Amino acid sequence: MLSLTSVQNGAPVPVPDPVRMVHLQLRRFAGCPICHLHLRSFVRRHTEIESAGILEVVVFHSTVEELRPHVADLPFPAVADPQRHLYRRFGAEPSVRSLVDPRVYPSIVRAVTVGTVEFLRGRARPPSRTPTGGRLGLPADLLFAPGGDVVARKNGVHADDQWTVDEVLELAR
């Protein structure tokens, strides 16, 4: 059992949950443009995810102070892990591959473009120039069954290598 705390409201976050499946996302740093785009797809389909009996939990290797302004509007818990305890536990270590793999380049361009537009419209904050834990984090996804068994797992090989909402829903079936 993991003892996690929501950055948004200080509530405990049960992982595993006794009743629901838990999709635990290990993202990169607070304000990461790629992570921001990815999470927006989960926000748009949050009702569908909840209806499937899945608790969405997202973790960043950032401090609470860095993370809070970037996740205040998320409809699911965000967790700060600046010491990377969960990342080490689940094998999501930092790597230069996160940004040099050519498959991530289109995502970087799209994320920076969308992020810049949102910043100019006052809808987003820019990431820190020196984020806790650096910029070279690799994402990971885990799906826990009620009770704790890991049903599925994905360790990303670049910064935008993570499950889509459709993949999470399919894995939960």
At residue 97 the predicted structure's pLDDT band, cuts being 50, 70 and 90, is: low
Judge whether residue 2 has pLDDT over 70.
Answer: yes
What is residue 71's predicted lDDT score, i.e. its pLDDT? 93
- 108-127 pLDDT, tens digit per residue, is 777 777 777 777 787 777 77
pLDDT tens digits for range 65-92 = 999 999 998 999 999 999 999 999 998 8
Q: pTM here? A: 0.87
- Residue-number span of the structural domain to which 72 is assigned: 2-172
> What is the CATH number for 139?
3.40.30.10
Angle at Cα 75 formed by Cα 69 and Cα 77, nearest 5°?
70
Residues 6+ apart with CB under 8 A from 42: 25, 49, 56, 58, 76, 165
Establish whether the linkage from the previous residue to 16 is cis, with ω within 30° of 0: yes
| Number of domains, the chain | 1
* Amino acid found at 10: G
Q: DSSP for 29-65?
A: STT-HHHHHHHHHHHHTHHHHHHTTEEEEEEESS-HH
